[in-house]
Amino acid sequence: MRFCRGADPWGGRHIAQDWSLTDDELETVMQRLDDAFEHGADVSIVHDVVRELMEEKRASRQVTVPAVMLEKVMALAGSEMKRLYAVGNENGGDGDAFVREEREAMDVVLQALDGEHMS
């Protein structure tokens, strides 16, 4: 491979050690790097390619949740949204804006849990 002149998958694994890559995922990263850079790349490029692969993997993952648990979660979420809206409307406030701000804060937490802000 042309990537970093002589780098092999084990070197790529070392550079991408913040992620737990399978051998297939590592091979995909190495192929993408080889295709993208004819004259070499630096570590930040490797990290970008790995992050892209991890996002693809995260976006296509499948999860199974028992229906009873999903019903409970949805009921709690509905109750919480009503509560947030009421709190936001107190003293003439904007319930919609308050709920929107809460959702944005939750999105930041979810991104952190998904590992999107790994260095």
Section 26-47 average pLDDT: 74
Query: pTM for this one?
Result: 0.37
pLDDT greater than 60 at residue 1? no
If we measure between CA atoms, which residue out of 54, 68, 67, 35 comes closest to residue 115? 54
The rounded distance, in Å, linking the Cα atoms of 6 and 77 is 52
The rounded distance, in Å, linking the Cα atoms of 100 and 107 is 11
Chain position carrying tokens 């790995």: 50
Q: Domain residues of the chain, as ranges?
A: 9-59, 67-113
Q: What is the pLDDT of residue 45?
A: 77
pLDDT greater than 70 at residue 55? yes
Determine what percent of the chain is predicted with pLDDT higher than 70.
73
Q: H helices of the chain, where?
A: 9-15, 23-36, 43-59, 67-89, 95-113
Of the pLDDT bands very low, low, confident and very high (cuts 50, 70, 90), residue 27 is confident
Q: What is the pLDDT of residue 118?
A: 45
pLDDT digits (tens, 9 = 90+) for 67-93: 888 888 888 888 888 888 888 888 888
Q: Is 111 helix (H, G, I), strand (E, B) or coil?
A: helix
